[in-house]
Chain A
Amino acid sequence: MIREASLQLSEAVQQKSMNSYLNESVRDIKPSGIRRFFDLVSTRKDVITLGVGEPDFVTPWHVREAAVMSLERGKTQYTSNAGLIELREAISNYLYSNFDVGYEPDKEILVTVGGSEAIDLALRALISPGDEILIPEPCYISYSPITVLSGGVSVGIETYAKDNFKLTADSLLKAITPKSKVLILCYPSNPTGGIMTYEDWEPIAKIVEEKDLIVISDEIYAELTYGTKHVSFATLPGMKDRTILVSGFAKAFAMTGWRLGYACGHPDFISAMLKIHQYTVMCAPSMSQYAALEALTNGLEEKDKMIDSYNQRRRLVVKGFREIGLECHEPQGAFYAFPSIASTGLTSEEFAARLLEEAGVAAVPGNVFGLGGEGHLRCSYATSVSALTEAIDRIGNFVNKLKQS
Protein backbone atom coordinates (compact mmCIF):
# COMPACT_ATOMS: atom_id res chain seq x y z
CA MET A 1 0.00 0.00 0.00
CA ILE A 2 2.61 2.45 1.10
CA ARG A 3 4.85 1.49 -1.79
CA GLU A 4 2.02 2.00 -4.25
CA ALA A 5 1.27 5.41 -2.85
CA SER A 6 4.85 6.51 -3.10
CA LEU A 7 5.02 5.21 -6.69
CA GLN A 8 2.02 7.31 -7.59
CA LEU A 9 3.61 10.27 -5.93
CA SER A 10 6.84 9.91 -7.87
CA GLU A 11 4.90 9.57 -11.12
CA ALA A 12 3.15 12.81 -10.34
CA VAL A 13 6.47 14.48 -9.69
CA GLN A 14 7.86 13.10 -12.94
CA GLN A 15 5.03 14.65 -14.89
CA LYS A 16 5.92 18.09 -13.68
CA SER A 17 8.71 19.54 -15.79
CA MET A 18 11.89 20.07 -13.81
CA ASN A 19 13.64 21.79 -16.68
CA SER A 20 13.36 25.20 -15.08
CA TYR A 21 15.86 24.05 -12.45
CA LEU A 22 18.51 23.24 -15.02
CA ASN A 23 21.51 25.33 -15.86
CA GLU A 24 20.54 27.45 -18.85
CA SER A 25 23.45 26.46 -21.05
CA VAL A 26 22.83 22.78 -20.44
CA ARG A 27 19.13 23.15 -21.09
CA ASP A 28 19.69 24.94 -24.36
CA ILE A 29 22.19 22.46 -25.78
CA LYS A 30 20.55 20.24 -28.35
CA PRO A 31 21.01 16.50 -27.90
CA SER A 32 23.56 15.11 -30.34
CA GLY A 33 22.22 14.38 -33.83
CA ILE A 34 24.18 11.15 -33.74
CA ARG A 35 22.26 10.03 -30.69
CA ARG A 36 18.97 10.73 -32.46
CA PHE A 37 20.10 8.70 -35.44
CA PHE A 38 21.30 5.87 -33.19
CA ASP A 39 17.84 5.62 -31.66
CA LEU A 40 16.38 5.34 -35.15
CA VAL A 41 18.84 2.63 -36.18
CA SER A 42 18.23 0.65 -32.98
CA THR A 43 14.63 0.08 -34.02
CA ARG A 44 15.76 -1.85 -37.10
CA LYS A 45 17.14 -5.34 -37.54
CA ASP A 46 19.46 -6.66 -40.26
CA VAL A 47 21.00 -3.29 -40.84
CA ILE A 48 24.50 -2.94 -42.25
CA THR A 49 26.02 -0.07 -40.39
CA LEU A 50 28.59 2.40 -41.66
CA GLY A 51 27.78 4.57 -38.68
CA VAL A 52 30.35 3.29 -36.22
CA GLY A 53 32.99 5.78 -35.14
CA GLU A 54 35.41 3.26 -33.71
CA PRO A 55 37.85 0.62 -34.99
CA ASP A 56 36.52 -2.83 -35.84
CA PHE A 57 39.55 -4.44 -34.26
CA VAL A 58 39.56 -5.66 -30.70
CA THR A 59 42.35 -4.28 -28.51
CA PRO A 60 45.44 -6.46 -29.14
CA TRP A 61 45.57 -9.43 -26.78
CA HIS A 62 48.84 -8.51 -25.04
CA VAL A 63 47.43 -5.08 -24.22
CA ARG A 64 44.34 -6.62 -22.64
CA GLU A 65 46.62 -9.02 -20.78
CA ALA A 66 48.66 -6.14 -19.35
CA ALA A 67 45.48 -4.71 -17.86
CA VAL A 68 44.47 -8.10 -16.43
CA MET A 69 47.93 -8.53 -14.93
CA SER A 70 47.76 -5.11 -13.32
CA LEU A 71 44.51 -6.23 -11.66
CA GLU A 72 45.98 -9.58 -10.61
CA ARG A 73 48.91 -7.83 -8.98
CA GLY A 74 46.54 -5.57 -7.12
CA LYS A 75 47.55 -2.36 -8.85
CA THR A 76 44.11 -0.94 -8.34
CA GLN A 77 44.89 2.35 -6.61
CA TYR A 78 44.85 5.97 -7.72
CA THR A 79 47.85 6.94 -9.78
CA SER A 80 49.40 10.39 -9.63
CA ASN A 81 46.97 13.01 -10.94
CA ALA A 82 48.89 13.52 -14.15
CA GLY A 83 49.11 9.78 -14.77
CA LEU A 84 51.81 7.12 -14.26
CA ILE A 85 55.18 8.68 -14.89
CA GLU A 86 56.24 5.57 -16.91
CA LEU A 87 53.27 6.12 -19.18
CA ARG A 88 54.03 9.83 -19.59
CA GLU A 89 57.61 8.92 -20.46
CA ALA A 90 56.37 6.40 -23.03
CA ILE A 91 54.01 9.01 -24.52
CA SER A 92 56.87 11.49 -24.68
CA ASN A 93 59.12 8.99 -26.51
CA TYR A 94 56.32 7.93 -28.83
CA LEU A 95 55.44 11.49 -29.86
CA TYR A 96 59.08 12.37 -30.35
CA SER A 97 59.94 9.37 -32.50
CA ASN A 98 56.71 9.33 -34.52
CA PHE A 99 55.71 12.96 -34.87
CA ASP A 100 58.85 14.97 -34.06
CA VAL A 101 57.38 16.81 -31.09
CA GLY A 102 59.14 16.75 -27.74
CA TYR A 103 57.35 17.13 -24.40
CA GLU A 104 58.73 16.85 -20.86
CA PRO A 105 56.98 13.90 -19.14
CA ASP A 106 56.93 15.60 -15.74
CA LYS A 107 55.32 18.91 -16.58
CA GLU A 108 54.12 18.99 -20.17
CA ILE A 109 52.01 15.81 -20.37
CA LEU A 110 48.71 15.00 -18.68
CA VAL A 111 46.98 11.60 -18.97
CA THR A 112 43.21 11.99 -19.26
CA VAL A 113 39.99 10.00 -19.47
CA GLY A 114 39.95 9.79 -23.24
CA GLY A 115 40.86 12.57 -25.64
CA SER A 116 37.40 13.95 -24.81
CA GLU A 117 38.37 14.91 -21.29
CA ALA A 118 41.52 16.55 -22.59
CA ILE A 119 39.45 18.74 -24.93
CA ASP A 120 37.07 19.60 -22.11
CA LEU A 121 39.94 20.52 -19.78
CA ALA A 122 41.70 22.59 -22.41
CA LEU A 123 38.59 24.59 -23.21
CA ARG A 124 37.67 25.10 -19.57
CA ALA A 125 41.21 26.18 -18.75
CA LEU A 126 41.32 28.71 -21.59
CA ILE A 127 37.85 30.18 -21.94
CA SER A 128 36.70 33.27 -20.11
CA PRO A 129 33.06 34.35 -20.62
CA GLY A 130 32.48 35.68 -24.12
CA ASP A 131 35.69 34.40 -25.68
CA GLU A 132 35.19 33.24 -29.24
CA ILE A 133 36.35 29.76 -30.18
CA LEU A 134 37.02 29.10 -33.85
CA ILE A 135 35.95 25.67 -35.04
CA PRO A 136 36.46 24.47 -38.61
CA GLU A 137 33.44 22.40 -39.60
CA PRO A 138 32.22 19.80 -40.40
CA CYS A 139 33.86 18.44 -37.27
CA TYR A 140 33.55 16.09 -34.34
CA ILE A 141 30.37 16.86 -32.50
CA SER A 142 31.63 17.81 -29.04
CA TYR A 143 33.69 20.98 -29.60
CA SER A 144 30.83 23.40 -29.86
CA PRO A 145 28.77 22.11 -26.89
CA ILE A 146 31.83 22.04 -24.60
CA THR A 147 32.70 25.56 -25.70
CA VAL A 148 29.22 26.74 -24.76
CA LEU A 149 29.30 24.87 -21.43
CA SER A 150 32.56 26.64 -20.65
CA GLY A 151 31.01 30.04 -21.28
CA GLY A 152 32.56 30.58 -24.71
CA VAL A 153 31.00 31.41 -28.02
CA SER A 154 31.54 28.87 -30.76
CA VAL A 155 32.26 30.27 -34.20
CA GLY A 156 32.05 27.72 -37.01
CA ILE A 157 34.28 28.02 -40.06
CA GLU A 158 32.90 26.17 -43.05
CA THR A 159 35.27 23.96 -45.04
CA TYR A 160 34.49 22.52 -48.45
CA ALA A 161 34.78 19.30 -50.43
CA LYS A 162 36.47 21.21 -53.27
CA ASP A 163 39.35 21.96 -50.85
CA ASN A 164 39.33 18.38 -49.54
CA PHE A 165 37.87 19.92 -46.37
CA LYS A 166 41.15 21.64 -45.52
CA LEU A 167 41.11 24.82 -43.45
CA THR A 168 42.15 27.73 -45.67
CA ALA A 169 43.81 30.96 -44.56
CA ASP A 170 41.06 33.03 -46.20
CA SER A 171 38.17 31.47 -44.33
CA LEU A 172 40.08 31.52 -41.05
CA LEU A 173 40.85 35.24 -41.42
CA LYS A 174 37.22 36.02 -42.19
CA ALA A 175 36.07 34.39 -38.95
CA ILE A 176 38.53 36.16 -36.66
CA THR A 177 37.34 39.04 -34.46
CA PRO A 178 39.03 40.81 -31.54
CA LYS A 179 37.30 38.29 -29.26
CA SER A 180 38.78 35.25 -30.99
CA LYS A 181 40.94 33.31 -28.57
CA VAL A 182 41.20 29.63 -29.46
CA LEU A 183 41.28 27.68 -32.70
CA ILE A 184 40.28 24.01 -32.47
CA LEU A 185 41.83 21.81 -35.12
CA CYS A 186 40.97 18.19 -35.83
CA TYR A 187 43.05 16.75 -38.62
CA PRO A 188 42.92 13.97 -39.80
CA SER A 189 39.26 14.82 -39.64
CA ASN A 190 36.25 13.03 -38.29
CA PRO A 191 33.92 13.12 -40.30
CA THR A 192 35.56 14.14 -43.58
CA GLY A 193 38.82 12.17 -43.63
CA GLY A 194 40.56 15.42 -44.62
CA ILE A 195 44.17 16.03 -43.60
CA MET A 196 46.55 19.02 -43.50
CA THR A 197 50.09 18.87 -44.89
CA TYR A 198 53.00 21.01 -43.73
CA GLU A 199 52.36 23.40 -46.64
CA ASP A 200 48.67 23.60 -45.71
CA TRP A 201 49.61 24.44 -42.12
CA GLU A 202 52.13 27.20 -42.85
CA PRO A 203 49.67 30.03 -43.64
CA ILE A 204 47.45 28.93 -40.73
CA ALA A 205 50.40 29.08 -38.32
CA LYS A 206 51.22 32.58 -39.56
CA ILE A 207 47.71 33.78 -38.78
CA VAL A 208 47.73 32.08 -35.36
CA GLU A 209 50.91 34.00 -34.56
CA GLU A 210 49.67 37.33 -35.89
CA LYS A 211 46.28 37.13 -34.25
CA ASP A 212 47.69 35.75 -30.99
CA LEU A 213 45.50 32.63 -30.96
CA ILE A 214 45.87 29.47 -28.91
CA VAL A 215 45.35 26.18 -30.72
CA ILE A 216 43.78 22.99 -29.40
CA SER A 217 44.91 20.36 -31.87
CA ASP A 218 42.89 17.16 -31.62
CA GLU A 219 45.20 14.63 -33.27
CA ILE A 220 43.40 11.47 -32.20
CA TYR A 221 43.52 10.12 -35.78
CA ALA A 222 47.21 11.03 -36.28
CA GLU A 223 48.24 7.44 -36.93
CA LEU A 224 45.56 6.90 -39.53
CA THR A 225 46.84 8.62 -42.65
CA TYR A 226 47.26 6.99 -46.02
CA GLY A 227 50.15 7.68 -48.34
CA THR A 228 51.36 10.67 -46.35
CA LYS A 229 52.53 11.08 -42.77
CA HIS A 230 50.59 13.20 -40.29
CA VAL A 231 52.09 16.60 -39.52
CA SER A 232 51.45 17.74 -35.98
CA PHE A 233 50.56 21.43 -35.80
CA ALA A 234 52.94 21.79 -32.86
CA THR A 235 55.90 21.10 -35.16
CA LEU A 236 55.46 24.39 -37.02
CA PRO A 237 57.90 27.13 -36.01
CA GLY A 238 56.71 28.98 -32.93
CA MET A 239 53.58 26.86 -32.56
CA LYS A 240 54.58 24.45 -29.82
CA ASP A 241 53.97 26.94 -27.00
CA ARG A 242 50.66 28.02 -28.55
CA THR A 243 49.36 24.51 -29.07
CA ILE A 244 47.69 22.08 -26.72
CA LEU A 245 48.08 18.73 -28.45
CA VAL A 246 45.32 16.27 -27.65
CA SER A 247 45.44 12.61 -28.55
CA GLY A 248 44.71 9.17 -27.17
CA PHE A 249 44.81 5.45 -27.61
CA ALA A 250 41.32 4.80 -28.94
CA LYS A 251 41.79 5.00 -32.66
CA ALA A 252 45.39 3.94 -33.31
CA PHE A 253 45.43 1.09 -30.80
CA ALA A 254 41.75 0.07 -30.96
CA MET A 255 41.19 1.04 -27.31
CA THR A 256 37.98 3.10 -27.36
CA GLY A 257 36.32 1.61 -24.29
CA TRP A 258 39.42 2.07 -22.14
CA ARG A 259 38.88 5.83 -22.14
CA LEU A 260 42.49 6.88 -22.19
CA GLY A 261 43.91 9.99 -23.78
CA TYR A 262 46.41 12.71 -23.09
CA ALA A 263 47.13 16.39 -23.51
CA CYS A 264 50.56 17.91 -24.10
CA GLY A 265 51.57 21.54 -24.04
CA HIS A 266 53.17 24.45 -22.27
CA PRO A 267 53.62 23.74 -18.52
CA ASP A 268 51.31 26.66 -17.67
CA PHE A 269 48.49 25.17 -19.72
CA ILE A 270 49.07 21.65 -18.46
CA SER A 271 49.19 22.69 -14.80
CA ALA A 272 45.96 24.67 -15.21
CA MET A 273 44.29 21.66 -16.82
CA LEU A 274 45.72 19.44 -14.08
CA LYS A 275 43.94 21.57 -11.47
CA ILE A 276 40.55 20.89 -13.06
CA HIS A 277 41.45 17.26 -13.67
CA GLN A 278 42.46 16.61 -10.05
CA TYR A 279 39.25 18.09 -8.67
CA THR A 280 36.97 16.32 -11.15
CA VAL A 281 38.35 12.87 -11.99
CA MET A 282 41.52 12.56 -9.84
CA CYS A 283 43.27 10.37 -12.36
CA ALA A 284 42.58 8.21 -15.39
CA PRO A 285 41.72 4.56 -14.56
CA SER A 286 44.89 2.75 -13.48
CA MET A 287 44.26 -0.49 -15.41
CA SER A 288 43.75 1.51 -18.59
CA GLN A 289 47.03 3.28 -17.96
CA TYR A 290 48.91 -0.03 -17.62
CA ALA A 291 47.28 -1.26 -20.82
CA ALA A 292 48.28 1.93 -22.65
CA LEU A 293 51.83 1.56 -21.44
CA GLU A 294 51.92 -1.91 -22.95
CA ALA A 295 50.40 -0.62 -26.21
CA LEU A 296 53.17 1.96 -26.57
CA THR A 297 55.90 -0.45 -25.53
CA ASN A 298 55.01 -3.51 -27.64
CA GLY A 299 51.97 -2.64 -29.75
CA LEU A 300 53.36 -0.65 -32.63
CA GLU A 301 53.47 -3.57 -35.07
CA GLU A 302 49.78 -4.41 -34.69
CA LYS A 303 48.98 -0.76 -35.19
CA ASP A 304 50.69 -0.78 -38.58
CA LYS A 305 48.73 -3.87 -39.66
CA MET A 306 45.46 -2.20 -38.72
CA ILE A 307 46.37 0.92 -40.70
CA ASP A 308 47.16 -1.20 -43.75
CA SER A 309 43.81 -2.90 -43.47
CA TYR A 310 41.91 0.43 -43.20
CA ASN A 311 43.72 1.67 -46.28
CA GLN A 312 42.55 -1.33 -48.33
CA ARG A 313 38.97 -0.78 -47.28
CA ARG A 314 39.24 2.96 -47.88
CA ARG A 315 40.07 2.34 -51.54
CA LEU A 316 37.13 -0.06 -51.78
CA VAL A 317 34.52 2.42 -50.53
CA VAL A 318 35.83 5.47 -52.39
CA LYS A 319 35.80 3.58 -55.70
CA GLY A 320 32.40 2.17 -54.81
CA PHE A 321 30.85 5.61 -54.21
CA ARG A 322 32.36 7.04 -57.37
CA GLU A 323 31.04 4.15 -59.45
CA ILE A 324 27.58 4.72 -58.02
CA GLY A 325 27.88 8.30 -59.24
CA LEU A 326 28.22 9.96 -55.82
CA GLU A 327 31.02 12.51 -55.70
CA CYS A 328 33.57 11.48 -53.12
CA HIS A 329 36.73 13.45 -52.38
CA GLU A 330 39.77 11.37 -51.51
CA PRO A 331 39.79 10.91 -47.72
CA GLN A 332 43.45 10.72 -46.69
CA GLY A 333 43.01 10.10 -43.00
CA ALA A 334 40.84 8.64 -40.22
CA PHE A 335 38.44 5.88 -41.32
CA TYR A 336 35.61 7.85 -42.85
CA ALA A 337 34.51 8.62 -46.37
CA PHE A 338 32.28 11.67 -46.73
CA PRO A 339 30.56 11.36 -50.12
CA SER A 340 28.23 14.02 -51.42
CA ILE A 341 24.62 12.99 -51.84
CA ALA A 342 23.55 16.45 -53.05
CA SER A 343 22.97 15.16 -56.60
CA THR A 344 20.02 13.11 -55.34
CA GLY A 345 18.17 16.27 -54.35
CA LEU A 346 17.61 14.98 -50.82
CA THR A 347 18.91 16.54 -47.62
CA SER A 348 21.39 14.53 -45.59
CA GLU A 349 18.75 13.61 -43.03
CA GLU A 350 16.21 12.57 -45.64
CA PHE A 351 18.79 10.53 -47.49
CA ALA A 352 20.06 8.81 -44.35
CA ALA A 353 16.56 8.06 -43.06
CA ARG A 354 15.37 6.64 -46.38
CA LEU A 355 18.61 4.71 -46.91
CA LEU A 356 18.02 3.08 -43.55
CA GLU A 357 14.35 2.44 -44.19
CA GLU A 358 14.50 1.32 -47.81
CA ALA A 359 17.94 -0.22 -48.14
CA GLY A 360 18.86 -1.27 -44.59
CA VAL A 361 22.11 0.70 -44.49
CA ALA A 362 22.95 3.07 -41.63
CA ALA A 363 25.28 6.01 -42.20
CA VAL A 364 25.37 9.32 -40.33
CA PRO A 365 23.83 12.37 -42.04
CA GLY A 366 26.52 15.00 -42.62
CA ASN A 367 24.54 17.92 -41.21
CA VAL A 368 25.04 16.70 -37.63
CA PHE A 369 28.72 17.67 -37.96
CA GLY A 370 27.99 21.35 -38.47
CA LEU A 371 28.58 23.82 -41.30
CA GLY A 372 29.46 22.24 -44.65
CA GLY A 373 28.15 18.84 -43.60
CA GLU A 374 24.75 19.21 -45.25
CA GLY A 375 24.61 17.27 -48.53
CA HIS A 376 27.06 14.67 -47.27
CA LEU A 377 26.96 11.32 -45.56
CA ARG A 378 29.58 10.04 -43.10
CA CYS A 379 30.45 6.46 -43.91
CA SER A 380 32.83 4.63 -41.62
CA TYR A 381 34.82 1.96 -43.41
CA ALA A 382 36.00 0.37 -40.16
CA THR A 383 33.88 -2.67 -40.88
CA SER A 384 34.33 -5.99 -42.67
CA VAL A 385 34.99 -6.17 -46.42
CA SER A 386 31.89 -8.28 -46.95
CA ALA A 387 29.70 -5.74 -45.11
CA LEU A 388 31.24 -2.85 -47.07
CA THR A 389 30.71 -4.58 -50.41
CA GLU A 390 27.10 -5.35 -49.54
CA ALA A 391 26.53 -1.79 -48.27
CA ILE A 392 27.91 -0.27 -51.48
CA ASP A 393 25.65 -2.55 -53.54
CA ARG A 394 22.62 -1.52 -51.52
CA ILE A 395 23.47 2.19 -51.68
CA GLY A 396 23.97 1.83 -55.46
CA ASN A 397 20.53 0.26 -55.90
CA PHE A 398 18.96 2.88 -53.66
CA VAL A 399 20.51 5.77 -55.59
CA ASN A 400 19.44 4.23 -58.91
CA LYS A 401 15.90 3.91 -57.62
CA LEU A 402 15.96 7.58 -56.56
CA LYS A 403 17.13 8.64 -59.99
CA GLN A 404 14.36 6.72 -61.72
CA SER A 405 11.58 8.05 -59.54
Chain B
Amino acid sequence: MTGLSEFQLKVLALLQEDARTKPELIATMLDVPVTEVNEAIAAMEKDHVIVKYATIVNWSKLHDEQVTALIEVQITPERGRGFDRIAEMIYLHPEVKSLYLMSGAYDLQVEIEGNSLKEVASFVSNKLSTIEAVLSTKTYFILKKYKQDGIIFAEYESDHRMSVSP
Protein backbone atom coordinates (compact mmCIF):
# COMPACT_ATOMS: atom_id res chain seq x y z
CA MET B 1 0.00 0.00 0.00
CA THR B 2 1.34 3.41 -0.89
CA GLY B 3 1.31 6.03 1.82
CA LEU B 4 -0.98 9.03 1.63
CA SER B 5 0.38 12.52 1.24
CA GLU B 6 -0.09 15.03 4.05
CA PHE B 7 -2.55 16.84 1.83
CA GLN B 8 -4.61 13.70 1.24
CA LEU B 9 -4.69 13.05 4.98
CA LYS B 10 -6.08 16.55 5.56
CA VAL B 11 -8.79 16.02 2.94
CA LEU B 12 -9.59 12.70 4.53
CA ALA B 13 -9.85 14.21 8.01
CA LEU B 14 -12.37 16.79 6.78
CA LEU B 15 -14.45 14.16 4.96
CA GLN B 16 -14.36 11.86 7.93
CA GLU B 17 -15.81 14.64 10.05
CA ASP B 18 -18.56 15.31 7.48
CA ALA B 19 -18.74 13.23 4.30
CA ARG B 20 -20.95 15.85 2.71
CA THR B 21 -18.31 18.62 2.88
CA LYS B 22 -18.14 20.03 -0.64
CA PRO B 23 -14.83 19.92 -2.53
CA GLU B 24 -15.03 23.72 -2.99
CA LEU B 25 -15.16 24.22 0.78
CA ILE B 26 -12.28 21.80 1.34
CA ALA B 27 -10.28 23.69 -1.31
CA THR B 28 -10.87 26.98 0.50
CA MET B 29 -9.99 25.54 3.89
CA LEU B 30 -6.77 23.99 2.63
CA ASP B 31 -5.93 26.90 0.33
CA VAL B 32 -5.58 24.88 -2.91
CA PRO B 33 -7.45 24.85 -6.26
CA VAL B 34 -10.57 22.69 -6.21
CA THR B 35 -9.15 20.48 -8.97
CA GLU B 36 -6.47 19.28 -6.54
CA VAL B 37 -9.12 18.29 -4.01
CA ASN B 38 -11.14 16.46 -6.65
CA GLU B 39 -8.04 14.63 -7.84
CA ALA B 40 -7.08 13.62 -4.31
CA ILE B 41 -10.59 12.34 -3.58
CA ALA B 42 -10.76 10.46 -6.89
CA ALA B 43 -7.40 8.83 -6.22
CA MET B 44 -8.41 7.76 -2.74
CA GLU B 45 -11.72 6.40 -4.02
CA LYS B 46 -9.89 4.46 -6.72
CA ASP B 47 -7.45 3.00 -4.19
CA HIS B 48 -10.33 2.12 -1.86
CA VAL B 49 -8.86 4.36 0.84
CA ILE B 50 -12.29 5.97 0.75
CA VAL B 51 -14.58 2.97 0.62
CA LYS B 52 -18.03 4.47 0.92
CA TYR B 53 -19.87 7.61 2.07
CA ALA B 54 -22.24 6.11 4.59
CA THR B 55 -24.67 7.58 7.11
CA ILE B 56 -24.40 6.81 10.79
CA VAL B 57 -27.95 6.14 11.95
CA ASN B 58 -29.16 6.11 15.51
CA TRP B 59 -31.71 3.33 15.00
CA SER B 60 -32.87 3.47 18.59
CA LYS B 61 -34.64 6.73 17.66
CA LEU B 62 -36.98 4.68 15.47
CA HIS B 63 -38.20 2.44 18.31
CA ASP B 64 -37.70 -0.58 16.11
CA GLU B 65 -36.86 -3.94 17.48
CA GLN B 66 -33.62 -4.42 15.65
CA VAL B 67 -31.12 -6.62 17.46
CA THR B 68 -27.36 -6.40 17.23
CA ALA B 69 -25.06 -9.14 18.50
CA LEU B 70 -21.33 -9.63 18.77
CA ILE B 71 -20.25 -13.23 18.25
CA GLU B 72 -16.89 -14.62 19.24
CA VAL B 73 -15.92 -17.44 16.93
CA GLN B 74 -13.14 -19.97 17.30
CA ILE B 75 -12.07 -21.66 14.09
CA THR B 76 -9.46 -24.05 12.77
CA PRO B 77 -7.36 -22.22 10.18
CA GLU B 78 -6.88 -23.99 6.85
CA ARG B 79 -3.50 -25.08 5.57
CA GLY B 80 -2.10 -22.53 3.15
CA ARG B 81 -5.05 -20.13 3.41
CA GLY B 82 -5.14 -19.38 7.12
CA PHE B 83 -8.37 -17.70 8.19
CA ASP B 84 -9.19 -15.82 5.02
CA ARG B 85 -11.42 -18.32 3.19
CA ILE B 86 -13.49 -19.05 6.28
CA ALA B 87 -13.75 -15.34 6.97
CA GLU B 88 -15.05 -14.86 3.44
CA MET B 89 -17.70 -17.56 3.95
CA ILE B 90 -18.89 -15.55 6.95
CA TYR B 91 -18.67 -11.97 5.72
CA LEU B 92 -20.56 -12.70 2.49
CA HIS B 93 -23.73 -13.10 4.53
CA PRO B 94 -25.63 -9.78 4.34
CA GLU B 95 -26.57 -9.97 8.05
CA VAL B 96 -22.90 -9.61 8.97
CA LYS B 97 -22.16 -5.91 9.60
CA SER B 98 -18.52 -6.30 10.49
CA LEU B 99 -15.95 -9.04 10.85
CA TYR B 100 -12.56 -8.81 12.53
CA LEU B 101 -9.72 -11.27 12.96
CA MET B 102 -8.71 -10.97 16.60
CA SER B 103 -5.69 -11.72 18.73
CA GLY B 104 -6.41 -13.43 22.03
CA ALA B 105 -8.86 -16.09 23.21
CA TYR B 106 -10.89 -16.38 20.02
CA ASP B 107 -10.27 -15.85 16.31
CA LEU B 108 -13.08 -13.93 14.62
CA GLN B 109 -15.45 -11.32 15.92
CA VAL B 110 -18.68 -11.13 13.96
CA GLU B 111 -21.14 -8.29 14.36
CA ILE B 112 -24.57 -9.17 13.10
CA GLU B 113 -27.88 -7.37 12.87
CA GLY B 114 -31.28 -9.03 12.78
CA ASN B 115 -34.91 -8.10 13.28
CA SER B 116 -35.34 -10.35 16.31
CA LEU B 117 -33.47 -12.53 18.77
CA LYS B 118 -34.80 -15.50 16.86
CA GLU B 119 -33.33 -14.30 13.61
CA VAL B 120 -29.90 -13.86 15.17
CA ALA B 121 -30.14 -17.25 16.89
CA SER B 122 -31.06 -18.90 13.62
CA PHE B 123 -28.08 -17.29 11.86
CA VAL B 124 -25.76 -18.68 14.50
CA SER B 125 -27.21 -22.18 14.51
CA ASN B 126 -27.97 -22.58 10.81
CA LYS B 127 -25.27 -20.60 9.04
CA LEU B 128 -22.34 -19.98 11.34
CA SER B 129 -22.05 -23.14 13.42
CA THR B 130 -22.54 -25.35 10.40
CA ILE B 131 -19.29 -24.17 8.80
CA GLU B 132 -16.96 -27.09 9.30
CA ALA B 133 -13.97 -25.06 10.54
CA VAL B 134 -16.01 -23.33 13.25
CA LEU B 135 -15.19 -24.90 16.61
CA SER B 136 -17.29 -22.77 18.92
CA THR B 137 -19.34 -19.55 19.12
CA LYS B 138 -20.29 -17.23 21.96
CA THR B 139 -23.05 -14.73 21.26
CA TYR B 140 -23.44 -11.41 23.12
CA PHE B 141 -26.45 -9.21 22.47
CA ILE B 142 -25.93 -5.45 22.53
CA LEU B 143 -28.33 -3.78 24.94
CA LYS B 144 -27.59 -0.12 24.27
CA LYS B 145 -25.28 1.86 22.01
CA TYR B 146 -23.61 4.80 23.69
CA LYS B 147 -21.09 5.67 21.03
CA GLN B 148 -20.34 4.44 17.54
CA ASP B 149 -17.56 5.45 15.15
CA GLY B 150 -16.59 8.28 17.45
CA ILE B 151 -20.12 9.67 17.61
CA ILE B 152 -21.84 9.85 21.00
CA PHE B 153 -25.48 8.78 20.69
CA ALA B 154 -26.77 9.96 24.03
CA GLU B 155 -28.13 13.49 24.25
CA TYR B 156 -24.92 15.26 24.98
CA GLU B 157 -24.02 18.92 25.04
CA SER B 158 -20.42 19.16 23.93
CA ASP B 159 -20.07 22.96 23.74
CA HIS B 160 -20.07 24.37 27.25
CA ARG B 161 -18.93 27.85 26.26
CA MET B 162 -20.86 31.03 26.94
CA SER B 163 -22.36 32.40 23.73
CA VAL B 164 -20.43 35.67 23.92
CA SER B 165 -17.15 36.29 25.74
CA PRO B 166 -14.30 38.79 25.51
Contact = CB atoms under 8 A, between A and B. Distances in A.
A54 interface: yes
Given A313-B29, A316-B28, A319-B28, A385 B18 contact: yes
Contacts of A38: 162-165
A315 B29 contact: yes
A51 B165 contact: yes
B17 interface: yes
Nearest to A318: B28
B21 to A, nearest CB: 7
B18 A386 contact: yes
Nearest to A226: B31
Interface stretch (A12-20, A41-49, A80-88, A295-303): A41-49
B25 A53 contact: no
A56 B159 contact: yes
Interface string A378-396: 0000000110010000000
Interface in B115-166: 158-159, 161-166
A218 to B, nearest CB: 13
B87 to A, nearest CB: 35
A58 B160 CA distance: 9
A215 B163 CA distance: 33
A155 interface: no
A141 B164 contact: no
Nearest to A227: B31
A37 interface: yes
B30 interface: yes
Nearest to A383: B159
B164 A41 contact: yes
Contacts of B31: 315
A47 B21 CA distance: 22
A362 B166 contact: no
Contact of B163 (A32, A141, A362, A385): A362
A47 B163 contact: yes
B166 A312 contact: no
Nearest to A39: B164
Contacts of B166: 32, 34, 53, 140-142, 190
Interface residues of A, number: 29
Interface string A59-81: 00000000000000000000000
A53 B165 contact: yes
B8 to A, nearest CB: 15
Interface in A292-331: 308, 312-313, 315-316, 319
A42 B163 contact: yes
Contacts of B21: 385
A362 B164 contact: yes
B151 to A, nearest CB: 14
B30 to A, nearest CB: 7
A366 B31 CA distance: 28
A140 to B, nearest CB: 7
A337 interface: no
Contacts of B25: 316, 385, 389
Contact of A49 (B17, B18, B29, B164): B164
B161 to A, nearest CB: 5
A364 to B, nearest CB: 6
B164 A52 contact: yes
B163 A41 contact: yes
A364 B165 CA distance: 9
A54 B162 CA distance: 9
Contacts of A49: 163-164
Contacts of A42: 163
Contacts of B29: 312-313, 315-316, 385
A316 to B, nearest CB: 5
A312 B13 CA distance: 12
B164 A315 contact: no
Nearest to A36: B164
Contacts of B30: 312, 315
A27 to B, nearest CB: 21
Contacts of A364: 164
B162 A52 contact: yes
Interface string A274-285: 000000000000
Interface string B18-62: 100100010011110000000000000000000000000000000
A42 B164 CA distance: 9
Nearest to B158: A58
Find the residue from B21, B25, B30 having the highest chain A CB count within 10 A. B25
Contacts of A389: 25
Nearest to B159: A56
Interface in B1-22: 10, 14, 17-18, 21
| A-B complex: 9 closest residue pairs judged by Cβ atoms | A51-B164, A312-B29, A38-B164, A49-B163, A53-B165, A41-B163, A52-B161, A34-B166, A53-B166
Given A312-B14, A316-B28, 4 more contacts: A51-B165, A319-B28, A385-B25, A389-B25
10 contacts: A38-B164, A53-B166, A54-B165, A58-B158, A312-B14, A313-B29, A364-B164, A385-B18, A385-B25, A386-B18
